[in-house]
Amino acid sequence: MYTIVDIETTGNGIKGNKITEISIFKYDGYEVVDEYTSLVNPECEISYFITSLTGIDNHMVRDAPTIDQIADKILAFTKDTIFVAHSVNFDYNVIKNEFAIINREFVRKKLCTVRLSRKLIPGYNSYSLGKLCSSLGIPLTDRHRARGDAHATTLLFHKLLRKDNAEDVFKSFLNARSQEATLPPQLPRSVYERIPAKPGIYYFKNSKGKIIYVGKAINLKKRVLGHFYDKSTKEIAMCNETADIDFELSGSDLLALLMESEAIKHHYPEYNRAQKRKVQQYGIFSYEDRNGIKHLAFNKLKMAPNAFFTLYNISDCRLFLEKICEAFKLCPKYCHLQENVTSCSHFRITKCDGICKGEEDIPIYNEKVQQAIDHIRATSTNFIIKEKGRTVEEDAFILVNNDLYMGYGFVANDMVVDNSADLSAFLIPQKNTLEVQGIIKTYLGKHAENCHPIEGTILDDFSSTSETLFI
């Protein structure tokens, strides 16, 4: 026995969603044997948008019974039946949540006519109730009213029961281990089944192929399934839009974190919240003016030629240059800490030897600037992090140059790499961001043994090092 259900709601997300109308058709596989339809007082305001969609307004439900008053009727009517609905998880979860609020339990086996339709009558562009009924010649009256939609769903269900291979499909969908009732209505089971239980990142895509969410996991299959069990409003809305899932293997949690961060910033998915802000980067750089005097300055990273240090806000840039200026007796004017002045008069830095007043030789001042640059570069770190690869035949590496994340790559673990130049062909360049700096810093705090320092400048030429990196 089946009970085919449709509800209308106030539309405030799953947890805040209140039922305004419910219709249940009891169906034995051949004909409707009973029916129950009722308006429901949601005990809250119905928005104008919902009223314009369903025609149900506050006046209509004022004298209707509350869910508490009809709970026994719903429980008795659906007892020992299979709960059927179009996009079943929505109707089922709203009812289940409403019952939980009044300390009642609602548990039924369930079937989704969207998923059944995709399996038994494939090939349609849309499986919404309205478009499916139009394509199949099923009469649909009183659209967006509970009884009209429940009646149309019953007629659709009648057709599905009589399709070739329907018995096997229904049995597989009702199998407790099949997870069919858990998967999003638009997502083919074959897509979920090909997701491996390995580390990596995954992409939820809508019916148009647009990426709407990016996530990472140690076990991709388990994490993706976790989204389908999550009953938060955001998760349900996201899963209802999900029509495809793609993935990339990473081999390790660190790589997954870095890949996820890059993918979020690149695709800017609708349902991701974290890491979407774009933090401006600033580069410390040097140049020589027409008088031959070397300057230290900062600018947005893309405007800073050959920057040798990176920071993330103007205040930090100024503080950094103040310390360098003071430590090496440089001039605040030529470190751009004071603009449009003939000579420096910085309130904190008083060690200038007079280059701005013509009291210091230019070659001597320039040498001090070069010493400052060499000091900054010497305190920067160049290293490679070695991690597990995507398969047992390969290793992964993460490359950091002058404290800047350069990217990652994968190499065969039987390949002897004697110097960093050998890795250049395998590097997948990535953007350095505040988030990835934090990811790498946290990782090194726990796994310092996987860090392999490299001498020299990696960025310019992948300079050779005597250390064997991977064997």
User: Could you tell me whether strands 19-27 and 32-39 are parallel, antiparallel, or unpaired per DSSP bridges?
Assistant: antiparallel
State the average pLDDT over residues 220-240: 88
pLDDT for the residue numbered 41: 96
Of residues 27 and 417, which shows the higher confidence score?
27
Detail the DSSP E strand segments found in 10-137: 19-27, 32-39, 82-85, 110-112
- Residues 371-380 have a mean pLDDT of 83
Go through the chain and tell me how many residues it has. 471
Per DSSP, the residues of 389-418 read -SSTTEEEEEEEETTEEEEEEEEETTS-B-
Core vs surface per residue 253-284: b (16+ CB within 10 A) or e: bbbbbbbbbbbbbebebebbeebeeeeebbbb
- We find that the CATH architecture of domain 2-174 is 2-Layer Sandwich (3.30)
User: Residue 176's pLDDT is what?
Assistant: 62
> Which of 120-134, 193-207, 384-398, 400-414 comes out lowest in average pLDDT?
400-414
Among 436, 454, 433, which Cα is nearest to 444's? Answer: 436
Which of the four pLDDT bands, split at 50, 70 and 90, describes residue 179?
low
Sheet containing strand 309-311, edge to edge, reads 294-300, 282-288, 309-311
pLDDT band at 28 (very low <50, low <70, confident <90, very high): very high
Query: Tell me, what's the pLDDT at 312?
Result: 81
State whether the Cα torsion 462-468-469-470 is positive or negative: positive
Element (H, E) at 135: helix 129-136
Of 83-87, 242-246, 347-351, the range with the lowest mean pLDDT is 347-351
The pLDDT, as a whole number, for residue 116 is: 93
3-state secondary structure (DSSP) of residue 452: strand
What is the tens place of the pLDDT at every residue in 261-286?
Answer: 999 999 999 999 877 677 788 989 99
**Is the pLDDT confidence value at 460 over 50?**
no
459 pLDDT more than 50: no
pLDDT digit string (tens) for 105-151? Answer: 999 999 999 999 999 999 888 899 999 999 999 998 888 899 999 99
The reported pLDDT for the residue numbered 416 is 67
CB-CB contact of 340 with 298 (8 Å) = no
The pLDDT, as a whole number, for residue 173 is 86
Q: Left (φ > 0), alpha (ψ -120 to 50) or beta: where does 311 sit?
A: beta
Mean pLDDT taken over the chain: 88
Report DSSP state, residue 71: H
- The fourth-level CATH superfamily of domain 189-267 is GIY-YIG endonuclease (3.40.1440.10)
Q: Which two tokens stand for residue 426?
A: 């395998």
Q: Are 289 and 299 in contact (CB under 8 A)?
A: no
- At 284-305, the pLDDT tens digits run 999 999 999 999 999 998 898 8
- Percentage of the chain modeled with pLDDT above 90: 60
- How much is the pLDDT for 471? 44
- Name residue 10's amino acid: T
pTM over 0.75: no
- Each domain of the chain, given as residue ranges in start order, spans 2-174, 189-267, 282-379, 383-461
Contacts of 466 (CB under 8 A, 6+ apart): none
Distance CA 403, CA 320 (A): 15
Both tokens of 402, joined, read 């002058």
